[in-house]
Amino acid sequence: MRNALAILAVAAASAAFAEQQPYQIFEIDVRNVKERQILTDSPLFLLNEDPTIGKNVVAVNQGNEWQVLALGLKYKYRGLYKPQIPSYTANEDVDYRTEWLNYDQIIAEWDLLLQQYPWLVTKRAIGTTHNGNTIWVYSIYKPDGADNTSPPASLLFLGNTHAREWASPSVLIHLGKMLCQAIATNDSVMTSKLVGKVGVHFVAVFNPDGYKYTWTNQRLWRKNRRNNGNNVYGVDMNRNYAKGWGGAGSSGTPSSDTYRGPSVWSEPENLAIKNFSESLPNLRGFIDYHSNSGDILWPWSYTTSPLAEPYLTTNSTVATAMKNAILAHPGGYNYTIGQGSTTLYVAGGTSKDWYLDRFGNIPSYTVEIYGSSFDPPTSTIAPTQDQHWVGFRAFIQATLP
């Protein structure tokens, strides 16, 4: 009887969640640049932003603990992490404010917006991934006259460059919804800044192969799903851009989590966003939304040399406006702002460096959405989305004077 009850309890739980293979968590002590490179080139899942000299937290699939020992670095065991992946029944009504959405649900949510505001939202495919998934862009623009002219200027926002950073596409859905609502209700700020002037483009899920894989196989997957041969997969899409490609803070080892790819723009996702961005009229601002360290980072990342003027003033002014707006929001997190390389760590081939280099004096950021981990409690989803709507409004106001 007891056994039967236990089985029933398990059955009930598995109706809502599926368990993936567990991870073992270790803390690795890195003492110098050479040891840091060993960690950078390793196949371990790094849980801090970038490998640092000092303490690093890594995850490894249970059974692969030898990969930690093989580093030859000092380590401490920190415990077991069992990812729980929501499993939804077909047509289940899932609220993006309180639950994580799987890939199809995210696209369905954006498509709903398209249905609700057909005069405001357009959807287009900008490329196809290694696994044949389409990369979709949703654009929000209202012309000021009756004729349907296209926008003379543009803003671009990327969601889910890194597969496991689920907060990113979740925040983007909310930004899209709130923006549509604001324009549809003639919100004075959004109307004066955007209507007849600027198209706002959202890449709902920039890394669909990786995102799907985090739901089906490996919750802590970061890269895309390029087949590198020898059963090794993935390129870090935030190391494949042209500016500073190949430099420090990236790896030439295909199994590494920061593998930069065989060449600049080798990845179909990166090439798609490059071509799309270059086709946009007058790009005025760019944010690549990541998680989870709570930072707003501007270029450069590939070098510790400070950003020159007038780029520095542009980037620090808009970042300050975002930070202050988020902080003033009830419960708002106190975001750290600064140059990527000096605030976090040097990383070559990242998005924000290329956007500034290519498009000139624009605010160009990696926003690291704050969270307790890559898997924060679902109770934090709505407050996080709300804070970023406030930050996003401030970004638009400060970027478009």
For Zn ion, the closer of residues 83 and 340 by Cβ is 340
Residues sharing a CB contact under 8 Å with residue 92, sequence separation 6 or more, in sequence order: none
171 near ligand 0X9, judged by CB under 6 A: no
One of 142, 164, 284, 290 touching ligand 0X9 (CB under 6 A): 290
- Determine the Cα–Cα distance for residues 85 and 102; give it in Å rounded to an integer: 10
238 near ligand 0X9, judged by CB under 6 A: yes
The torsion of the CA quartet 364, 366, 367, 373, rounded to 10 degrees, works out to 180
CB of 268 to ligand 0X9, least distance (A): 19
CB of 398 to ligand 0X9, least distance (A): 21
Where in 172-211 is the site for ligand 0X9 (CB under 6 A)? none
49 near ligand 0X9, judged by CB under 6 A: yes
Of Zn ion, ligand 0X9, none, which one sits near residue 250, judging by CB under 5 to 8 A according to partner kind? none
Backbone angles phi, psi at 260, to 5 degrees: -85, -10
- The DSSP H or E segment spanning 199 is strand 198-203
Of Zn ion, ligand 0X9, none, which one sits near residue 344, judging by CB under 5 to 8 A according to partner kind? ligand 0X9
CB of 265 to Zn ion, least distance (A): 19
For ligand 0X9, the closer of residues 202 and 298 by Cβ is 298
Beta strands across the sheet bearing 364-370: 121-128, 134-140, 198-203, 153-159, 283-292, 364-370, 295-298, 336-339
Options 30-38, 98-106, 303-311, 341-349: segment touching ligand 0X9 (CB under 6 A) = 341-349
Q: Residues interacting with Zn ion, by CB under 5 A?
A: 162, 290
If 0-12 CB within 10 Å is exposed, 13-18 middle and 19+ buried, where does residue 378 land? middle
- Determine the Cα–Cα distance for residues 45 and 23; give it in Å rounded to an integer: 10
Of ligand 0X9, Zn ion, none, which one sits near residue 50, judging by CB under 5 to 8 A according to partner kind? ligand 0X9
For ligand 0X9, the closer of residues 41 and 197 by Cβ is 41
DSSP structure string for 359-374 = H-SS-EEEEEEE-SSS
For ligand 0X9, the closer of residues 117 and 233 by Cβ is 233
- The DSSP H or E segment spanning 326 is helix 311-328
CB of 315 to Zn ion, least distance (A): 19
CB of 344 to ligand 0X9, least distance (A): 4
Alpha helices in 227-302 (DSSP H): 268-279
340 near ligand 0X9, judged by CB under 6 A: yes
Q: Is the dihedral of CA 83, 249, 339, 158 positive or negative?
A: negative
One of 40, 240, 251, 366 touching ligand 0X9 (CB under 6 A): 366
How many CA within 13 A on the CB side of residue 178?
A: 19
226 near ligand 0X9, judged by CB under 6 A: no
56 near ligand 0X9, judged by CB under 6 A: no
Of Zn ion, ligand 0X9, none, which one sits near residue 347, judging by CB under 5 to 8 A according to partner kind? ligand 0X9
CB of 346 to ligand 0X9, least distance (A): 6
Catalytic residue list: 368
- Which structure tokens are listed for 96? 């993006």
Backbone angles phi, psi at 154, to 5 degrees: -145, 150
- Determine the Cα–Cα distance for residues 65 and 84; give it in Å rounded to an integer: 21
Looking at beta carbons, which residue is closest to ligand 0X9? Answer: 340
375 near ligand 0X9, judged by CB under 6 A: no
Alpha helices in 76-184 (DSSP H): 103-116, 167-184
How many CA within 13 A on the CB side of residue 261?
A: 25
CB of 221 to ligand 0X9, least distance (A): 12
Q: Is the peptide bond before 32 cis (omega within 30 degrees of 0)?
A: no
One of 240, 341, 364, 399 touching ligand 0X9 (CB under 6 A): 341
Q: Which residues bind ligand 0X9 (CB under 6 A)?
A: 49-50, 162, 165, 238, 290, 297, 301, 340-341, 344-345, 347, 350, 366, 368
